[in-house]
A and B are shown apart, each in its own frame.
Chain A
């Protein structure tokens, strides 16, 4: 009796999970399917086509946005990886009080709602009369990317044997060289994970970019302005590609670090 009720329970649980997964995936699957649909209408399937993808790559506006997205993500990732790694190394050597203060500042962009972060940066850039464009977007992206690098590197530093660095110094190694030769190789996995996370966050950002750039649009901003005009199949094609790229990047991060890190 107990066994049978257990099996019925398992069946119900499985059904519940299947429904939740259906809710999460049906819209995505429909959208991917429609990106290959020959008809503009969402009402009927009229045959397979790659036209929307061709149109996507022929659109000057979308190609310009792709260029902005990648430029911003690359520059922001490089700068935030350097800043975040050095920041983590410095904080590791600091007194606890000072380090805690900096950690709290690092949590700030993660706990402030994106829209407030976006408008606050916009206000500052306008106040100091910097024109809102690609460069203001890059500065904003560095600000929200860097904590991801910091929090990926810090655990690796804590795992490191502190005597290694001391030993290098005792053996006459210059501190800068000891950093480069001893610390950096030890924490490399954390740096790479942090950089990948930063790159993904940067590619994926809409809200903060939207408020910090006027003249240059990234891909997410294109999706938003297209959505206000109504649904377009080229946007399905774009969405499908963006989804696949971000998914690919996360699988790489995940493979490196296990489940906790895609969180």
Chain B
């Protein structure tokens, strides 16, 4: 027996449990409840109501990615700089929450944000008014940033760490100001890490469903929530598949566009 045949069970399993199921999404998206071919599901979700949900998801995911970049980039840059002798430990500390189940992290956020929660109790004891946080877009956004920030820090850090430090020193020796060093040397070299960070934050952010539900008690309704409802609560798997398909295509297109920025795919992504 040739050794390459050892991969056969693996190949069969992966095709059966990853490729074939995706074909089922395609099939259900183009059929009605009786199994007949239709494009009505697409007509249905082309209405303003669905458009609004999609718009909200894209908007929140966009701001989440932007905030993660604004917070995560300097974090990664400082960690990769030679200023901290214990940088390695700090990196591990930043990555550890990534391995905590996102439901648990969101649950922790709920504890802070609730009407009788930790933040409001603190405000009251300081003699301030309580603030309604659960149900606001701000709470969902903070919850998303909280969950996805390490996914931005990691790839940017990986790329910056590999960067040749003497290039920065050369720029400094040649009289470049610190801002110029960052904008003309560090930033361009870190683009691959930024691209993979954006991908890794935007994708889960745009498809999230539990975070919005837990931090807004259903007031903020995103595409992920809608898919969950169609599959679990409403049992209408055809429209649910159509929404999943549209979302998947949008994600593939946006990743494709991002790859154009980093054609060699040299980003320090997870895989």
Instruction: Name A residues whose Cβ lies closer than 8 Å to a Cβ of B.
Output: 9-10, 13-14, 16-17, 20-21, 23-28, 30-31, 34, 41-44, 83-84, 86-94, 98, 102, 105-117, 119-124, 126-127, 139-140, 142-143, 146-147, 150-151, 175, 179, 200, 204, 206-207, 211, 220, 223-224, 227-228, 231, 235-236, 239, 242-243, 246-247, 250, 254, 259, 262-263
Contacts and interface: CB of A to CB of B under 8 A. Distances in A.
B103 A206 contact: yes
A146 B94 contact: no
Contacts of A206: 101-103, 210
A116 B244 contact: yes
A28 B71 contact: no
Given A91-B4, A120-B24, A259-B88, A115 B213 contact: no
Contacts of A83: 9-10, 13
30 contacts: A10-B83, A14-B83, A17-B75, A17-B90, A21-B93, A24-B94, A28-B97, A31-B104, A31-B108, A42-B114, A42-B118, A44-B121, A86-B7, A88-B7, A90-B7, A93-B2, A93-B6, A98-B4, A102-B10, A108-B22, A111-B255, A115-B209, A117-B21, A119-B227, A119-B231, A119-B240, A227-B106, A246-B101, A262-B92, A262-B99
A7 to B, nearest CB: 10
Contact of A127 (B24, B93, B109, B204): B24
B138 interface: no
B38 interface: no
A136 to B, nearest CB: 10
Contact of A117 (B18, B95, B224): B18
Nearest to A43: B121
Interface residues of B, number: 88
A105 B16 CA distance: 11
A212 to B, nearest CB: 10
B30 interface: no
A110 B271 contact: yes
Given A43-B116, A224-B103, A143 B25 contact: no
A113 B207 contact: yes
B13 A120 contact: no
Contacts of B108: 27-28, 30-31, 239
Contacts of A115: 207, 209, 224, 227-228, 244
B74 to A, nearest CB: 6
A116 B107 contact: no
Contacts of B103: 206, 220, 223-224, 227
Contact of A246 (B90, B99, B224): B99
Interface string B141-171: 0000010011000100010000000000000
A87 B11 CA distance: 7
Nearest to A246: B99
A104 to B, nearest CB: 10
Contact of A119 (B18, B241, B271): B241
Contact of A113 (B19, B104, B204): B204
Contacts of A236: 107, 111
A34 B11 CA distance: 47
B3 interface: yes
Q: Give the secondary structure class of A's interface.
A: helix
B258 interface: no
A116 B2 CA distance: 36
A85 B146 CA distance: 35
B107 A122 contact: no
Given A89-B3, A119-B240, A228-B214, 17 more contacts: A17-B84, A20-B94, A24-B97, A27-B146, A83-B9, A87-B6, A87-B10, A102-B7, A110-B270, A116-B22, A116-B207, A116-B247, A122-B231, A207-B209, A243-B104, A250-B96, A263-B270
Contacts of A254: 92
A139 B110 contact: no
B9 A87 contact: yes
Interface in B160-208: 203-204, 206-207
